[in-house]
Structure 1
Amino acid sequence: MAFEFSDRHIVEYHTQGYVVLRDLLPATLLTDLRRETDRGREIARRLGGGNAQRLQPVQEHLDPRPFAELWGLPALHHALTEILRGIEFSVEGDAVLYEPGESPYCMCWHRDFRDLSPGMDLAAWQASFHDLRLFNQTNVALYDDACLWVVPGSHLRADTPDEIRRFPERPVPAPDFTGLTPEQAEYTARDYAHSMPGAVQAPLNAGDFMVYRNTLWHLGSYVPYIKRATVHGSIVTEAYRQYVLTQWLPYAKGELPRVWHNVNAGTPAYREGLWQRRAGQWAARLRRLAGA
């Protein structure tokens, strides 16, 4: 079924923080992108190892023509113009995301910039995270993709007490896969994803286009036995370009002290979360000693 835009897409994006444009890609374009990204999988693993999951920038490794056709789709630009309420933008997709080749992998729960970049000015992030000109990302699934987990609506608010208690510390800890079999790692990643209050999967079918606010709580969880090739990009405005240049680039270039800041530090939920985490660690140690 061909994609048809409606007001529902606008409402979903602004209330849930993400929306899926179903069947946006023409079948012929899907064929071309699959052929090109299948070449990229081996390039990514040759460059980054067997578990490499990203090829970036695609322009240096793959034929850019099908990607240019993707970003130039009239239906896509119409939908994004309506969703973004007429803001001037360009769509820049320069990465392909793949399944890991060797073992399951899971990112930590995070909100982009705030939870991944030590040293950044969190006051500036908090002052701007409602700005529709900023923090819009895209995923285009070339195969069915259920890797992304989100907390719907979290882009509209600060962390809840339950979220703070679950992840009081910065950096947010990712799952520990040390010594686990692939199957144990897969279960561990799934339990970790479910542990965030309100978390849901955001599955895509092949040919779907997702746009989402990266200020949502979100993560990616991946297994090697499900093929993946998802084109990942950003919606770029002049305001976003300036934000990256002034806020993120100094961090990336090492010009800022790499100190983790925590907007939730000192709150009652933060103290409760630390206590719960330490109590869990002590209990795990006692179980290991009892089994020794």
Structure 2
Amino acid sequence: MATSHLDALKRDGFVVVRNLLTPTEVAQYRDIATAATTRTRTGGWPHFRTVPKQFPPWPTTPPPASEGGIWGVQHLLHPEMAGRDQFARCYFSPSILAVAEELMGVSPDQADEALVMELFNLLVAPETKDFELRWHRDDIAETASAEEELKLLAAKSPGGRQSHAQYNLALCPDASLVVVPGSHRRARTDAERSAAPYEPSMPNQLVVELQPGDAVFYDSNILHRGTYRAKPENGDETRLTLHGSLGLKPVDGADADAEEKKKVRATAVLQHGVGAWVHRDDAAFGIGERPEKMRANLVAMGTGEGVGFSLQG
């Protein structure tokens, strides 16, 4: 059934949901996100995204602040993450799950069994210098021909329906995501294909502007990039954006390409290392049956050993 959020996602490749968090929730999550960022910047958390690298695998040692430091904190749902219980209540919150279900076409009678826990990370401002991500689609290589792009886009979101929901949820004002609306349904134009990797003014681009509590859900294969402004020296954190994804449990034999789709999604998720800890006994959440069913569906995807990486760089 068509809905306003799903219509926007199909048409534009993204949809902004305003006030998904209350001001009280924003303040609460901003506090624990700030603490997680400080801990990571100072070497107390080993899972992060580092400047100037865009895609995994990530280094194991954060670069010094003078070189930009980190731009992301990984694995907010890890059993050893401080504030994990609160992060989990956010990730599994009914308001976020409801939007994800809507966008993935999950009916109420399927909801308890269909969803897969995937990733929950934090995007932050680098230190001392700005950082940018190049134009990309999350799991279609930039070397793909127009014909290959069309085939892959059709396979990954047939009829505009995705097997996962990906979002940015802002805890500070955020204007970092830049997209080309509608590019999730077509091959790149000649201008897009020949554009510089960090082209600042791609034709028809749009900067997605979020206020604290707002979220943008987007097709991961829309043509997009990110811009990260450095935080003021010794100042408050200027970007704290929760970056999450939820999956849809594949149905064996649903189509001829079912196994290949499962493999591609497993790579996209497990390349980040979540499979190394999600099966642990202490990874249980203790906040109801649904999170545990979603976690079990992720465990079933495997450990991630040997899956490789979606993109390079």
TM-score > 0.5 by shorter chain? yes
What amino acid sits opposite 2:155 in the alignment? S
Q: Is the partner of 1:102 in helix, strand or coil? A: coil
Change (3 A) 1:221 1:165: same
Distance across 2 between alignment mates of 1:10 and 1:146: 22
Unaligned segments of structure 2, at least 5 residues: 44-61, 108-113, 233-237, 251-260, 272-303
Structural mapping, 1:90-109, within 5 Å: 90-109=116-135
Match of 2:141 in 1: 115
Residue 169 of structure 2 is aligned to residue 140 of structure 1: yes
More helix by share: 1
CA-CA distance at 1:76 after TM superposition: 2.5
CA–CA separation in structure 1 for the residues paired with 2:103 and 2:116: 14
1:75 aligns with 2:71: no
Is 2:38 the counterpart of 1:42? yes
Tell me if structure 2 keeps the 8 A contact 1:109–1:218.
Answer: yes
SS at match of 2:264: helix
Q: Offset of 1:166 from its aligned partner?
A: 1.9
Q: Aligned pair in 2 of structure 1 residues 104, 237: CA closer, same or farther (>3 Å)?
A: same
Q: Aligned-residue CA RMSD in angstroms?
A: 3.3
Pick the structure with greater CA Rg: 1
Q: Distance in 2 between matches of 1:126 and 1:205?
A: 30
Alignment partner, residue 170 of structure 1: none
Query: Matches of 2:180 and 2:28 in 1, distance apart?
Result: 33
Residues 60-79 of structure 1: per-residue CA shift (max 9 Å, x gap): 33211222221232233223
Equivalent position of 1:63 in the other structure: 83
Equivalent of residue 85 in structure 1, options 98, 101, 105? 105
CA deviation after TM superposition for structure 1 residue 249, in Å: 6.3
Unaligned runs of 5+ in 1: 1-5, 168-172, 175-191, 261-292
Given that residues 168 and 241 in structure 2 are in contact (C-alpha distance below 8 angstroms), is that contact kept between their aligned partners in structure 1?
yes
Instruction: With the length of structure 1 as denominator, give the TM-score of the two structures.
Output: 0.68
**Pair 1:20 & 2:38 matched:** no
Closer/same/farther in 2, CA of residues 110 and 13 from structure 1, 3 Å limit = same
Q: 1:13 to 1:40 in 2, by over 3 A?
A: same
Helix, strand or coil at the partner of 1:31 = helix
1:36-73 deviations in Å (ceiling 9; x for gaps): 11111222223423220111112233211222221232
Identical pairs, percent: 26
**Does structure 2 retain, via aligned residues, the 8 Å contact 1:71–1:91?**
no
Give the Cα–Cα distance (whole angstroms) in 1 for the partners of residues 249 and 219 of structure 2: 17
Tell me the residue number matched to 1:229. 240
* AA aligned opposite 1:97: L
CA displacement at 1:125 relative to structure 2? 3.6
1:30 Cα offset (Å): 1.6
Structure-1 separation of matches of 2:243 and 2:139: 17
Deviations 1:160-199, CA, capped at 9 Å, x for gaps:
12212325xxxxx44xxxxxxxxxxxxxxxxx321x2211
- 2:227 is paired with a residue whose SS is strand
Q: Is the 8 A contact 1:97 1:232 kept in 2?
A: yes
Distance 2:106 2:125 in 1: 35
Determine the C-alpha separation between the residues in 2 that align with 1:72 and 1:248.
Answer: 17
Query: CA contact under 8 A between 2:179 and 2:223: conserved in structure 1?
Result: yes
Match for 2:185: what amino acid?
L
1:243 and 2:264 correspond: yes
Asked if 2 retains the 8 angstrom alpha-carbon contact of 1:150 and 1:201, the reply is: yes
Alpha-carbon distance between aligned partners in 2 of 1:202 and 1:28, rounded to the nearest angstrom: 23
Counterpart residue type for residue 43 of structure 1: R
Looking at structure 1, the residues matched to 173 and 310 of structure 2 have their Cα atoms a distance apart, in angstroms, of 37
1:140 deviates by 0.8
Q: Are the structure 2 counterparts of residues 117 and 65 from structure 1 closer, same or farther at C-alpha, using a change threshold of 3 Å?
A: farther
Q: In 1, distance between residues paired with 2:268 and 2:36?
A: 31
Instruction: Give 1:52's aligned residue.
Output: 70
Hey, what does 1:11 align to over in structure 2?
7
Deviation of 1:254 (Å): 6.7
For the structure 1 residues 216 and 161, does the alpha-carbon distance in structure 2 shift closer, same or farther, using more than 3 Å as the test?
A: same
1:236-276 deviation line (CA, Å, top 9, x unaligned): 122365433368869x867779998xxxxxxxxxxxxxxxx
**In structure 1, what is the Cα distance between the partners aligned to 2:18 and 2:193?**
34
1 CA distance for matches of 2:142 and 2:177?
A: 17
> Which structure exhibits the higher relative contact order, with contacts defined as CA atoms closer than 8 Å and separated by 6 or more residues?
1
Show CA shifts across 1:74-117 (max 9, x none). 23322322222226324544211100111001110001122379
